[in-house]
């Protein structure tokens, strides 16, 4: 039986540290999303707010294969941090994020879903099914 191990990371450095802790050779899926506003508990990013319930529902009962999946919710920071063209998420050649929310399989450049795709439950389910 497969399992989904959930982590939370704050910012680019937190993301890199979490990936390092998990280690090489593991299947890592990361959701990059806007940080939450303390007073509301919701992300400042409207697309992230819409996608969150869809993703939350799927990660509670993930449709994954035999391999364990390490799932990281990565809070990219506030709007000003995210908009900075030099922020690590945008310039890291292994990420090259252009929008949030983004669901990305770390180490697989072609495997990503963004923005409106993340409100499509079927696309998100397919994302978690490992083809290998």
pLDDT along the chain (132 residues), means of 10: 81 96 89 93 94 90 70 95 94 93 86 92 84 56
List the catalytic residue out of 9, 28, 30, 48.
Answer: 48
Domain 5-129 coded CATH 3.40.30.10:
yes
Q: Catalytic annotation on 99?
A: no
List the catalytic residue out of 45, 72, 100, 124.
Answer: 45
Q: Which residues contact 24 (CB under 8 A, 6 or more apart)?
A: none
pLDDT at 1: 40
All structural domains of the chain with their residue ranges:
5-129
Tell me the CA end-to-end span of the chain in Å, nearest whole number. 16
Q: What is the pTM of this model?
A: 0.90
Q: Sheet of 112-114: strands edge to edge?
A: 4-10, 69-75, 27-33, 102-105, 112-114
Q: Catalytic annotation on 45?
A: yes
Element (H, E) at 71: strand 69-75
pLDDT at 90: 94
Question: Residue 17 is encoded by which pair of tokens?
Answer: 């540290």
CB of 41 closer than 8 Å to CB of 106: no
């Amino acid at each position: 039986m497969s399992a989904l191990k959930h982590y939370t990371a704050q910012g680019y450095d937190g993301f890199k540290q979490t990936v390092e802790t998990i280690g090489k050779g593991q299947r890592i899926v990361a959701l990059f999303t806007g940080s939450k506003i303390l007073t509301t508990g919701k992300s400042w990013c409207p697309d992230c707010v819409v996608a969150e319930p869809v993703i939350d529902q799927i990660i509670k009962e993930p449709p994954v294969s035999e391999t364990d999946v390490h799932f990281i919710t990565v809070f990219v920071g506030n709007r000003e941090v995210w908009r900075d063209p030099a922020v690590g998420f945008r310039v890291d050649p292994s990420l090259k994020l252009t929008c949030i929310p983004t669901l990305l399989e770390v180490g697989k450049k072609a495997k990503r879903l963004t923005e409106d795709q993340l409100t499509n439950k079927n696309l998100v389910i397919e994302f978690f099914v490992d083809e290998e």
